[in-house]
A and B are shown apart, each in its own frame.
Chain A
Amino acid sequence: MRARDLEPRASGRAPAPSHSVWRADFPIFEQAVHGRPLVYLDSAATTQKPRAVLAEIERYYARGCANVHRGLYALSAEATAAFEGVRAQVARFLGAASASEVVFTSGTTAAINLVAHAFGARFVRAGDEIVVTEMEHHSNLVPWQLLCARTGARLRVLPFDATGRLRIELLDALLGDRTRLVALTHTSNALGTRNPLPRVIAATRPRGIPVLVDAAQAMAHERVDVRALDCDLLAFSGHKAFGPTGVGVLYGKRALLEELPPFLAGGEMIERVRLESSTFKEPPHRFEAGTPNIAGVLGLGAALGWIERADLAAIGRHDDAVARYAAERLAALPRVRLVGTAENKGPIVSFTVEGVHPHDIAQWLDGAGIAVRAGHHCAQPAMDRLGLSSTVRASFACYNTSRDVDLLVDALRETIEVLG
């Protein structure tokens, strides 16, 4: 990621796109919900899947199914080549130095837990400190809480302001001799805030503190280049990037991964096993015990291939324009208050309506075929900070258009009339 990609994009210049050139690739939009066309505004929870992904999973199970790294027969060799091919593809996609820096996991959560255990065992002792932010998804908070409970380390928290902007100016004061790791999200799933990662990494680099980036909310919308960013660790999920569920990636700098002990143990991660003890493979296979999610990895490869062909920069401009249009239209409705109004945001618009509970809003919108999320978005500390128990969240991806926003606004107006 180049630094300028993290700057706020020029706003309000282009009209909101009323058409998506990518939408036709997603078969889910061919069906109706409650007799109406599906308006899917929950891509921050999971993105829909293009046909290319479904076709690849079908191809593997129908004609290519074999375990990887084990068989001497052609089918297994082909599956292994395809599987390792996706590792190289992910490395290229992320701008990683080598495929050996890409560990397949079951998702972002598993990737972060892997780091919390392996990095924790190797580097974190009583009295050490882990820095997170107040806006983290529970999956980038609770693993660190548990690590602190195991080791006697301490969690330090970087707050955000009333708009949802990270108070980056307080970071220096949080970093010290005992800071072992800074773990933060690229884009907040609850507030939409895009964090100033280059500034975080610039602050930690002179002190030699590694940084883990939770990039779950970024991959479907913008290029994340781990070498340009110079982060040490990065996690993302396939299913939030047009791929299947149950597969994700931990990127780690080679030198760091080599330092880490195994987390899960079993087949595939070993070198030589005796009854008393074993030796372990080099990264990345050291961290991939057991038969991996082969179909998931191949599906992820198809998803990243689809993104490459689709032009990620164009997708990012489209998503931001649709989200900006949504924010403007929603903010203009009486009794609607946007939650998370930082200057630099991903395509996520959270809001509340005075006098109507978010769950009732989401329920009523569902009746109009509109899928939004209502709740705490697995970010309860962020909700607490804002004095809220829940919000309604509309999140956008490349298949959404200004028409989806218009339908949302019309249905929301009706919701407020009936329930308000």
Chain B
Amino acid sequence: MSDLRELYQETILDHGKRPRHFEPMREAHHSADGHNPLCGDRITIYVRVEGDRIERVTFQGNGCAISMASASLMAEALTGRSLAEAERLFAAFHELVAGSGAPDEPVQLGKLHALAGVREFPVRVKCATLAWHTLHAALERAGQGGPVATTE
């Protein structure tokens, strides 16, 4: 039960119930749809990039508390970051929730640490990383320019 409390800590419940940046973005440069076929979670990520800097991230979708909170915290964490910083954050975050080593990373994860409890629940790793994978798909198009695109 203590693992469960760790998984569903206050930050997660708060962001799961009241996700921040939860809206479509008309002025987005890029977007992608993410889908977890195992549990039916769906998410759309919108990104606005100026130069190599992420100006704004928003999302919409529905899913479990873990996937919604992860998307919300991700959107918060990425605002104002460079694309390279975003990549490093994703790598560090992935290590945090799915890695086998100590979750000690030189990269400062800040509030994203709230998702550390996912590590004890391998089935839920996909919930925590759905938003990040979807963002990745959206950013892969960043170099290619072009309007809103989807991965599916």
Q: Which residues of A contact B (CB under 8 A)?
A: 34, 355-360, 363-364, 367-368, 374-376, 380, 383, 389-390, 418-419
Contacts and interface: CB of A to CB of B under 8 A. Distances in A.
Q: How large is the interface on B (under 10, 10 to 19, 20 to 34, 35 or more residues)?
A: 20 to 34
A418 B3 CA distance: 14
A363 B4 contact: yes
A364 B4 contact: yes
A65 B128 CA distance: 47
B112 interface: no
B86 to A, nearest CB: 27
- Among A360, A368, A389, the most chain B Cβ lie within 10 Å of the Cβ of A360
Given A363-B121, A389-B62, A419-B65, A375 B4 contact: no
Given A375-B40, A390-B40, A419-B13, A359 B4 contact: no
- Among A358, A359, A364, A374, the most chain B Cβ lie within 10 Å of the Cβ of A359
Contacts of B7: 363
B40 A367 contact: no
Contact of A359 (B3, B17, B39): B39
A380 B37 CA distance: 10
Contact of B65 (A360, A367, A375): A360
Contacts of A34: 1
A244 B59 CA distance: 44
Interface string B16-40: 1100000000000000000000111
Contact of B1 (A367, A380, A383): A367
Interface of B: 1, 3-4, 7-8, 13, 16-17, 38-42, 62-66, 121, 124, 127
Nearest to A375: B39
A357 B8 contact: no
Given A357-B65, A364-B4, 8 more contacts: A357-B63, A359-B39, A359-B124, A359-B127, A360-B64, A363-B4, A368-B1, A390-B39
A367 B4 contact: yes
Contacts of A374: 39
Contact of A360 (B1, B3, B8, B42): B8
B39 to A, nearest CB: 5
A34 B121 CA distance: 14
A389 B40 contact: yes
Contacts of A368: 1
A358 to B, nearest CB: 8
Nearest to B38: A375
17 contacts: A357-B62, A357-B63, A357-B64, A357-B65, A359-B39, A360-B8, A360-B64, A360-B65, A363-B7, A364-B8, A368-B1, A376-B40, A383-B40, A389-B42, A389-B62, A390-B39, A419-B13
A380 B124 CA distance: 21
